[in-house]
Amino acid sequence: MYLVMSLCEGGELSKELKSRGKFTELETRLIMARLTSAIAYLHKNDMVHRDLKMENILLSTNPDDHKDHLYIKVTDFGLSVVKGGVSHENMMMDFCGTPLYMAPEIIDNKTYSEKCDVWAMGVMLHLLLMGNAPFVSVQDDEKLYEQIKNLDVKEHMVQNYKQWEPITLECKDCLLRMLSIDPAHRLAASEILSHPWITGESLDPANGPRNVLEMMRAWGYQLEDDDTASVSPSESSAIKIQPSINVEEYSSQEGSSGPPSRNGSASSSTAKFSNGSTPQPPRSLSRQRTNSSDLLLPNSNNRIKEHPIHKCHVVSFNYMAMKAKLPL
């Protein structure tokens, strides 16, 4: 039996790095663009490498350009796995990989996804640019794991600002997003391909967020801004609804003269808008039990500054131009 394989005369990328000390940003971008393209293809087909490192990237000669010696090949799929999809049931839990390139979620024995490969690529990006890892490589794995879990790339750049000063803003931004401790905020391989550093564009905050979670958060803030803008000046001065009014109890007492008090009897004091009208509870929220102190009219004093989509949402009901914010 004969095995026919590609000839990679350049050897391992790690050896080339050792001989050079570090790569230029232009060379690094070329290598990372090609590596990301290969990994994005794997992820698209539900394959996760799980052991990306400098030693597993081989250098060859570009068949279309013999002067191009940074034509890379991804090798060593011994720890790779084919997932069954993107659902939670297909998340991985195996503790595997090379310690220097392992993602924080693997070290913490949490379930992880294909974004563990993106973390490894982020470490490689730092190695190519600086010639060293973003954390001190020590003999004791436990100490190394602690450094990985507590990595603050932005602080690391500040402390080594002289080394990072010639690096473009686009490159720094890409690295920060690749080495995010939280995998939910980490770029996917396909998102890296459209990052301004890879495409050669200028980083423009006006282009909006590129991470899916950030886009969801921005969408939530937009809803909040739209709700605030739809309230007229006369209505925005309306008072806060009196405490101890329960939406479910209030909606069941439609014939009462006012909202029930804590002992169940109808109360004579009712919350009113500045124009003298009385708000009526929405029927669609009759099953939601919430204290009326949580029902606020939006103004500059009670705007939700931190609005994570996974923790709360904005429910708007247009009766009497009233807007309600209900925590989950």
Tell whether 55 is in a known binding site.
yes
- Choosing from 46, 51, 68, 140, the catalytic residue is 51
Q: How far is CA 291 from CA 25, 318, 328, in A?
A: 56, 20, 13
DSSP-derived letter for residue 74 is: E
Tell whether 56 is in a known binding site.
yes
Q: Does residue 68 carry a catalytic annotation?
A: no
Rounded Cα distance between 33 and 171, Å, is 12
Q: What single string gives the DSSP state of each residue in 163-206?
A: HHTTS-HHHHHHHHHHT-SSGGGSPPHHHHHTSHHHHTPPP-GG
Q: Cα(first)–Cα(last) distance of the chain, in Å? A: 63
Tell whether 89 is in a known binding site.
no
Beta bridge partners of 11: 59
Q: How far is CA 180 from CA 105, 143, 255, in A?
A: 11, 19, 56
Angle at 153 between CA 149 and CA 311, to 5 degrees: 65
What is the helix (H) or strand (E) element at residue 316, kind and residue range? strand 312-319
**No. of H helices and E strands in the chain?**
13, 7
Placement of tokens 């405490």 in the chain: 243
Q: Is the dihedral of CA 69, 15, 131, 187 positive or negative?
A: positive
Placement of tokens 């004969």 in the chain: 2
Q: Which residues are documented as binding site for ATP?
A: 55-56, 76
Q: Which residues are catalytic?
A: 51
